[in-house]
Amino acid sequence: MKFISQIVQSQKVTNDQLFEFLRKTKDRDFLFRKKIHNFLDELYSKGNDLNNLNVKLESVQVGEKRNKFVDQESKITKWFSEQFTESRKLFGEYLKITKK
């Protein structure tokens, strides 16, 4: 959730944030099912795509190419904002407390 929040808030992601995400999710294979594993992979992949777009945007002048990158950046950021709900669904079953 922290990773998603940082991206939605700033519309950027740094290499340090990507590495921290990898570090904090490295034990996922032992704790969660494949569905969570795939979700975390997709978060990292989209974060990496956003990072690459951020770098490109720094060097591109105003114009059609820049507008294309800004549009892609907006789509990825929107996707991340939708992942709040998705992550709650996926992780919800692991966070439920039930009486036996």
Q: What is the pLDDT of residues 32-69, one digit of tens each?
A: 778 888 889 999 999 999 999 999 988 888 888 889 98
CB of 50 closer than 8 Å to CB of 18: no
What gap in Å lies between CA 1 and CA 42, rounded to an integer?
A: 14
Q: What is the mean pLDDT of the chain?
A: 88
What gap in Å lies between CA 30 and CA 74, rounded to an integer?
A: 34
Q: Quote the Cα angle for 13-95-21, to 5°.
A: 20
Which pTM does this prediction carry? 0.82
Residue-wise pLDDT for 61-88, tens only, equals 888 888 998 999 999 999 999 998 888 8
